[in-house]
Structure 1
């Protein structure tokens, strides 16, 4: 049994569930009103699928915009497939929910950011060193400031 409640992972799961429900609604009914999304994801995620030229251009992360034109949105429990337009070239993508770093809907000033820190799974080896907390596996969730997307 764990010594603490893992609020970070619980929050991530809840936030990904929210994104899943939002995208399922869009899949069924389209984007309502002025809603649109900026979705940043980790292009290195093993389940992310994108054209080789996109992966070369964005070797670590990529932000896609889901707004005026998108096609073939298909949502499952693990992620979503979508075709987006890149310079008049439609490209299919598959974005796993675990790969998402930010999800922003600027039309209503809503945003989520996922932060992860890579480390070993061995939490029990933490000692009294003050740096133990910095190296412990942590996942924090927070609401994103939308200032950088404001016009």
Structure 2
């Protein structure tokens, strides 16, 4: 008789990635509603990530993008999504696999997800990210995609 366990951590990650996919599918079909916007941090070294060379050179390891006022070509697939974001008046296409996502935050409703990485092994498998109530409001947020630090969103 073999010993088998239920991989709750993996199941939770799959469910969280499914949630992100469903949210992006809705945005693909209907656009971003109200004040919703996303900070998406992902592993730029993931083998299936597709970003411009200058972005991977500038952000070796981790990058956070903002999906808010201007984005184009959002296409949501089973394994990841494609989107074009504006980096200082330079539109760049990106492909981000769900498995590469480290955090997904919608500060407009104080919602966030964080995925464990091997270097986070001493932390819980999956956590909700707490967002302070005194975060800047929509009028203070950037109007283009930009790289931001999510340290203020981490526990």
Which category describes the TM-score, using the shorter chain as reference length? Answer: 0.7 to 0.9
RMSD of Structure 2 on Structure 1 (CA): 2.1
Q: Evaluate the alpha carbon distance shift between residue 148 and residue 43 of structure 1 in structure 2; reply closer, same or farther with a 3 A threshold.
A: farther
CA distance in 2, matches of 1:88, 1:143: 33
4+ runs of 1 displaced by more than 6 Å? none
Count of residue pairs the alignment pairs up: 134
Mapped pair 1:144 → 2:129: yes
Bigger Rg, structure 1 or 2 = 1
- Secondary structure of the 1:94 match is strand
Which residue pairs with 2:116 in the alignment? Answer: 115
Which residue pairs with 1:101 in the alignment? Answer: 102
Cα offset for 1:146?
1.6
Q: Aligned ranges for residues 17-96 of structure 1 at < 5 Å?
A: 17-96=18-97
Which residue pairs with 2:152 in the alignment? Answer: none
Using the size of structure 1 for normalisation, the TM-score is: 0.83
In structure 1, runs of 5+ residues without a counterpart are 119-132
Cα offset for 1:87?
0.3
Q: Evaluate the alpha carbon distance shift between residue 2 and residue 105 of structure 1 in structure 2; reply closer, same or farther with a 3 A threshold.
A: farther
In structure 2, runs of 5+ residues without a counterpart are 137-155
Cα offset for 1:145?
1.6
Using the size of structure 2 for normalisation, the TM-score is: 0.81
